[in-house]
A and B are shown apart, each in its own frame.
Chain A
Amino acid sequence: MRFMMLMIPLGYEAAPAGTMPPAEAVAAMMKYNEALKEAGVLITLDGLHPPSMGARVSFAGGKPMVTDGPFTEAKEVLGGYWMIEVKSRDEAIAWAKRCPASDHEIIEIRQVLEMSDFPADAQQAAAGFTELQARPAP
């Protein structure tokens, strides 16, 4: 089963543009990433610049409306994620527990929808989706 581990750094919603994690945190996290990789669990991972450098698009009545960051009303925003392959949610939780996260960080664990989770007619409509997902080699 694939799970997404969503890193939620509390306070990141107000971080100024260009905010970067400190070197020690990067080094500790790389050690953890290495452990995930050695166990054959890691599929991919990314970190995100603060919301102040981003934008939101909302679709009321199908009409797109753009709002530039920061999103002051937001309480929880994403700081990054890991995509992992494990046998169960419990295994995903066990991996999240090992993360060298700090007091102001939360990791949310969410199962990824697989094509087989969709009903047959929907699978047909989404034919070719798996091919779309193939990520070009870096």
Chain B
Amino acid sequence: MRFMVIVKADSNSEAGVMPSTELLTAMGKFNEEMVKAGVMLAGEGLHPSSKGARVGYTGKERRVSRGPFGLTGLVSGFWLIETKSLDEAIDWMKRAPFDGGAEIEIRQVFSPEDFGEALTPELREQEARLRAEGARN
């Protein structure tokens, strides 16, 4: 099963404070362990929301607002991991070198099988092709 681990933004990440060398070293070690165990598929950090935007949808209308956005629900980075269960994902993430009330959220990624008949054979084929070609970009 694939899981997305969502790292929540805080006032530091929103202020553009880059992680210290010490934290990067600890995080590098943690990532290394996950890679060696075949758990980590991807991981990225995001610039503060002040460099981002939001788009809202009403019928054909599009409302664009520029960041920064409030901390509620805001993301600062993520991992994609592959484990056998949610519990295994939780066990891995308990070992992450976070502190000071940091919070992460672990969410299961949809797989083609989850869509059942809504994902017709044609759509399924298209999905697989997009994924394969996207990965080559």
Contact = CB atoms under 8 A, between A and B. Distances in A.
Contacts of B40: 132
Nearest to B32: A132
Interface residues of B, number: 76
Interface residues of A, number: 81
B64 A93 contact: yes
Interface of B: 2, 4, 6, 18-21, 24-25, 27-28, 31-32, 35, 40-47, 49, 51-59, 62, 64, 69, 72-73, 75, 77, 80, 86, 89-90, 93-94, 96, 98-110, 114-119, 123, 126-128, 130-135, 137
Contact of B86 (A55, A58, A59, A135): A55
Nearest to A83: B44
Nearest to A40: B137
Contacts, number: 226
A137 to B, nearest CB: 7
Nearest to B101: A60
Contact of B103 (A6, A56, A97): A56
Nearest to A44: B134
Given A111-B51, A118-B24, A135-B41, 7 more contacts: A57-B96, A60-B101, A80-B110, A89-B53, A99-B55, A110-B49, A132-B35
